[in-house]
Structure 1
Amino acid sequence: MDLFRARSLPFLCRHSYVVEMQHLILWGFFAGAVEGGVCAVVAAKTFNGSFLLITVITATPMFANLVSLAWGVLCRGRRKLLLLTALAGAGVTIAASIGATPRTPWGGWIFALQIALARTFLSGVATVRTSLWRSNYPQRVRGRITARLQYARASMGVVAIALTGVLFDRNPDAFRWVYPSFAFVGAAAILLITRERVRGERAVLRHHARERAGDGLPADRPLWLAPFDVVAVLSPRHLLREMTRVLTTDRRFARYCGAQMFLGVANQMIQPVIVLLVTDRLGLSYFESNGLIDMLPQLLLLIALPAWAALFDRVGVLRFRVVNTIGWLGSIVIAGLAAMAVHGEALLDSGTYFLALGLLLASRVVHGLSAGGGAIAWNIGHMHFSSDEDAELYMGIHVSLTGLRGLFAPFLGAWLYVHLGWLMFVAATAICLIGMKQFRDLAREEGAAA
């Protein structure tokens, strides 16, 4: 029985695809429980979190990505599957520890730290995973395969988000056993991925061995680093040197990253404000808040993925990004109208309440449809510029820049909302337009050169 439609794919990538599908069904269930939106709702309601704590936890998945450059550098010349399982195991272990978090005034900040650490290791998993995709899946079907894998992950994430909302509505202390239970599922997912194979890895390892021998270094590079090697490889100076080398030699990739920076900042600015509007101004429950913030967009992501995958394989990443950014722009504008509706209203009458709720619902619908394209471009867009040997480094740079904007964009959005109210969304709209123009310029240049 061809449950995952593997027979429609090239023969050599079928085994890897089936193994990853089985893995991601369980892994998506675990990862859904540590998503930023879900955890922000838990912080707001279970730990009575302040706007600052909500902003920090909303930003956590983004700024955890800041270390992805380190994961990318660490991955070069090493066996990717072993590194992936080690990083996933660390993330699962930290998530399990949430069950011991005290429900005290400082418990919310301990919870935020645990989520930050778990997401840091999960960002490494994402970096290594995309390197596996480049090795195992041909370019002509990579968009289609990525969409299917993301579909499996996101669908189980929706189940996790819904289940979390129901459980926490019944008992706000459910985190004491919910997170350890999700971690158990994550551990089972790790066992499944150990059956994976990496095509061409021996050739890539030999290539890196020749590079190291030419530099007068030992040809063999083990998975586990000696302490002094850790300092050398993961030092900020070395990481910045690697990033600078790539961004100065590959100017088109640098411009692509710049366009992504504007688009990402605009999106990340509005996320803590959305959580505040939903949980505070509209007073929705755990399940309702999770449904609007995460569950609905994830469901629509699943619906939109096949169409986005077909477009990606047909037009390439640059033209794809232009179309996709139009959707993100629409979601920001509609959310801004919702914020405008409730601005300055101490008590919301029923008309204003339902108007704001309807606009936020429309915004999350457009956001979810756009996220289907974003899930594909974010995971494999960098491969348009990289070689096999540098795929993980390019991904590390791209994801680290995601983390960089996560360090300031949510806080900038929260600060602007406190001081400017709904006008913050005007700033986010302008920033998104700049990113869209940069994607369009890159697409036109590539079309003219073809």
Structure 2
Amino acid sequence: MRAARHTRAAMDLVSSFVASFHPRSLRPMLRANYARELTSWAFMPVMLTGINAGAMGVILKKTFSGVPGTTEAGLALAVGTIGAATAVGNLTSTVWANIACGRAKVRLIVLLMIACSICVGMIAFTPASNFGAWMMAGLVLIGWIFWSGVITIRAAVWRANYPSGDRTGIAGRLASVQAVISATSVLVLAEILDAFASESAWGSQALNSMQISWIKAEDVDEFAFRIIFPTLAVFGLIGALVYARVRLRGQSRLARIERTSTSGRGALGNPFTAFVVLKRDPAYRRYIICQFIFGAGNLLMMPILALVLDERFNASYLESLLVTAIIPPVLMPLAIPMWARLLGRMHVIEYRAIHSWLFVVAALCFLFGTLTLQYWLVVTGSVVLGIAWGGGVLAWNLGHQHFAPPEEDAQYMSVHVVLTGVRGIIAPYLGVTLYELLRPGGLEAWVFGVAAVITGIGSLGFVILKRREGTRGAPHSEPAPKTD
């Protein structure tokens, strides 16, 4: 009887959770646009698998290893380029904000979605050569530049369409949908790629048995590429068509105001002009320095994971992608409520002094897992990383607002975005360079040790700042939603 009650309670909990995503859970005036966005976001994450840095770094390394004309060092640099793609996108966000100013935003978002989908589809045409490896890395990079525009402009659509009381909840639901569908897509992709990874795999054997004349036996493992990435692109195109039905409330009035207003345009057009806030606000400057060091150590790890999983563990696509692109995004939305409650009670410096140490733990798990060739330790590190990401996405969006006056929010955020982009470009290349320097001596696992030290220095900086500043909970302005 008690078991039946527990089962019924669990089912009720799941039902209420699922029902919270239904448009009927919102006020009538919000339902139509939310339903269109929710439908669009059921398709877009599938396409985004094709520019997912965690997934594509693994795919590039495993696909092009041993291909004539490629070298291990060259492939490591290509993986580093994929790792830096998100950062390059961050650096272009202010450019997209300037382009969108005074223009039809939904139409521009749709065009950028289509452009990103085309980049994903073109991966199917990458040849099995060194050029093909760099072509794949370049398409991921360009795709991220387009997608950065979607993220940047979408925030303006949300501000116009959803009142502040509903906006954070809607953003959280869409982020959860994206995380679940993204992880599911990567899982399916891994299974398909493993099925064609060798002549003995079941997919390759089935394809050979069909005796399709236009597929040569030696090219059977490339067949998946010719099918998978155009399919991902089709999902993106469908999502773009659905998003085209979203209506921007007060579009004409908003465009008029943007064309005539000059406030904030300097920071958008040239974000470096906003760096004056670092001179004027020493507390924010100290926070940003710690954030830069801490974030660099964190970003250094991801490309190295793709390399060690292939070279040290000889992991399958599924085993590799589970660590880099499935576990972390699934755990991230589950961890966000816990971190949100913590951040709501304290200043971001105090919050970072607690939260940032999880990244050190993750790096140490990766280090000892690689040294001992214990895959379960690497998986444990991935779990810790996913929980840490949940708290990181909140601090990334809200941290600057604990320092910025409301009228200078754009300038403070602009500094934050640019420096995120700078460290995101430097860290992956630093990581793969260290990896290549240490690999001849069999010491490449210690790159994770370097990441742990750098991240630990940044985390210790937050602890010192907490004691120095004596900060406690501080009000901040309303966040601009960012889920990617």
Q: TM-score by structure 2 length?
A: 0.74
Aligned to 1:197: 247
Match of 1:177 among 227, 236, 251: 227
2-side partners of 1:21 and 1:206: how far apart?
A: 29
Per the alignment, do residues 17 and 449 of structure 1 end up closer, same or farther by CA in structure 2, a change over 3 Å counting? closer
Deviation at 1:152, TM superposition (A): 0.4
**Alignment of 1:130 onto 2:161:** no
Q: Which residue of 2 aligns with 1:367?
A: 385
Cα distance in structure 2, aligned partners of 1:377 and 1:86: 30
From 411, 415, 425, the counterpart of 1:407: 425
Deviation at 1:393, TM superposition (A): 7.2
Is it true that 1:37 corresponds to 2:37 in the alignment? no
In the alignment, the residues of structure 2 paired with residue 439 and residue 23 of structure 1 have an alpha-carbon distance, to the nearest angstrom, of 43
Q: Is 1:287 aligned to residue 313 of structure 2?
A: no
1:161 partnered with 2:179:
no
Q: Residues 66 and 42 from structure 1, CA distance in 2 versus in 1: closer, same or farther, beyond 3 angstroms?
A: same
Does 1:428 find its partner at 2:454? yes
User: Matched residues in 2 for 1:250 and 1:205: separation?
Assistant: 33
Map 1:170-319; keep pairs closer than 5 Å: 170-171=195-196, 172-173=221-222, 174-199=224-249, 201-211=251-261, 239-244=270-275, 257-309=288-340, 311=342
Q: Describe the SS at the equivalent of 2:357.
A: helix
Q: Deviations over 1:27-54 (max 9, x none)?
A: 1111123211211111111112632222
Q: Does 1:335 align with 2:366?
A: yes
Task: Decide which moves more: 32-41 or 433-442.
Answer: 433-442
**129-138 or 277-286, which moves further after superposition?**
129-138
Give distance in 2, aligned partners of 1:265 and 1:46.
Answer: 28
What is the match of residue 12 of structure 2? none
SS of residue paired to 1:282:
coil
Alpha carbons of structure 1 residues 392 and 244: separation in structure 2 relative to 1, 3 Å: closer
CA RMSD of aligned residues (A): 3.6
- Higher RCO (C-alpha 8 Å, min separation 6): 1
Q: In the aligned structure 1, how far is the partner of 2:96 from the partner of 2:467?
A: 31
Equivalent of residue 151 in structure 1, options 176, 182, 190:
176
Cα pair 2:93 2:148 within 8 Å, conserved: yes
Alpha-carbon distance in 1 for matches of 2:474, 2:397: 26
Aligned twin of 2:104: 79
Q: Work out the CA distance in 1 between the residues paired with 2:468 and 2:108.
A: 34
Say if 1:306 and 1:30 are closer, same or farther in 2 by CA, change over 3 A.
farther
Amino acid at match of 2:91: L
Query: Percent identity over the alignment?
Result: 30
Runs of 5+ unmatched residues, structure 2: 1-17, 66-71, 197-220, 477-484
Pair member with larger Rg: 2
1:434-449 alignment runs, 5 A limit: 434=460, 436-437=462-463, 440=466, 444-445=470-471, 447=473
Question: Is the 1:263–1:431 Cα contact (8 Å) retained in structure 2?
Answer: yes
Cα distance change on mapping 1:59 and 1:106 into 2, 3 Å: same
Aligned partners of 1:186 and 1:443: how far apart in 2? 47
Kindly report which structure 2 residues correspond to 1:340-419, keeping only aligned pairs within 5 A, or say none. Answer: 342=371, 352-353=372-373, 356-379=374-397, 398-417=416-435, 418-419=437-438
Q: Is the 8 A contact 1:27 1:185 kept in 2?
A: yes
> Aligned partners of 1:154 and 1:443: how far apart in 2?
36
Amino acid of the structure 2 residue aligned with 1:156? I
Shift of 1:332: 2.2
The amino acid that maps onto 2:97 is G
Judge conservation of contact 1:76–1:392 (CA < 8 Å) in 2. Answer: no
Quickly say closer, same or farther: Cα 1:208–1:167, change in 2 above 3 A. same
For residues 436 and 191 of structure 1, do their structure 2 counterparts lie closer, same or farther at Cα, with a shift above 3 Å needed?
A: farther
Uncovered stretches (5+) of structure 1, i.e. residues with no partner:
215-220, 222-231, 343-351
* Aligned-partner residue type, residue 430 of structure 1: G
Per the TM alignment, residue 167 of structure 1 is displaced from its structure 2 partner at its CA by: 1.3
